A and B are shown apart, each in its own frame.
Chain A
Amino acid sequence: MSGSAPLVKLAKKVVLIVEDEVLIRLALAHDLRQAGFTVIEAATGDEALIILQAVVEIGVIVTDIRMPGTMDGLALARFVTQHAPHIRVVITSANHVPDMQLHAAAVIPKPYVVSAIIRRLEELMPAPERPLLSDVGRG
């Protein structure tokens, strides 16, 4: 994400994890919940699409690239860029895929340490009590 991009004020710290490897998904979801995030889990890009149509509070999507179904992580990221640009996308991938940087606020190579993802999420989703750029100078 560009350092000059305005921070978006979010009602809740909701993270959507999209990962088809269940043990990776549950470990990441557990660690993010422990870190204070509200987490929604999707096993595929198709599930993520359904969730996006049903849940409005999602701030960040953390998605794998290679997944079964009609929508892989890159297609999901493209969809979000076009249709829900207020949602930030963090891509985790073991392989470099062309264009993935274009549709993601961050790309974190696999294998990753969860603290790296948490740091990025905290940058992308400021805590409610933290001053937001949009609030500076008001008042």
Chain B
Amino acid sequence: VTHSDKNKSAPTIVVVEDDVLIRMPIAAYLRECGYKVIEAASGDEARVVLQQKDLHIDVMLADTRTCGTEQGFGLVQWARKIFPDLKLLSVATPKGAVAAADQLCEEGPMLEKPYDPKIVVQHIRRLLDARARHRG
């Protein structure tokens, strides 16, 4: 997923999820849908990836309960501050979603686990369309 990729037009999604049995299938599904996908197993990994200047990441799909030093909503709020052009799609368990909604209502859509991969793609398309319109 670099500058040298032939398919430069495909948006890049970073999937931040510490449960590998959730991360693996949603990443595979998004690749099937034509997106470039980077898998991050923790908030720390996501930070490393986001800070790589040659990886142009368009959307971050992040479980708000990511492991590592980046707990809860910190990663999402940090990313929003540092990368204002990044589109965010947050995921939480039904129990966590209530708390997350309060903190992230301005940060983008919130999905409850378990989620339908098709709904994820719909949200990603909406976010990218909104960004394209904003850029004019």
Question: Which residues of A are at the interface with B, using a C-beta cutoff of 8 A?
Answer: 22-23, 25-26, 29-30, 40-44, 47, 50-51, 54
Contact = CB atoms under 8 A, between A and B. Distances in A.
Given A22-B49, A30-B1, 11 more contacts: A22-B40, A22-B48, A23-B52, A41-B27, A41-B39, A43-B41, A43-B42, A43-B45, A47-B20, A51-B21, A51-B24
Interface centre among A26, A29, A41, A47 (most CB of B within 10 A): A26
A26 B20 contact: no
B90 to A, nearest CB: 20
Interface string B45-67: 10011001000000000000000
Interface in B1-53: 1-2, 20-21, 24, 27, 38-42, 45, 48-49, 52
Nearest to A48: B20
A133 B118 CA distance: 42
Contacts of B24: 40-41, 51
Contacts, number: 34
13 contacts: A22-B45, A22-B49, A26-B39, A26-B49, A29-B39, A30-B1, A41-B24, A41-B39, A43-B45, A44-B41, A47-B20, A47-B41, A51-B20
Contact of B2 (A29, A30, A54): A30
Q: Which 7 A-B residue pairs are closest in the complex by CB-CB distance?
A: A43-B41, A22-B45, A47-B20, A41-B39, A30-B1, A26-B38, A22-B48
A33 B1 CA distance: 11
Nearest to A46: B20
A26 B20 CA distance: 15
Contacts of B40: 22
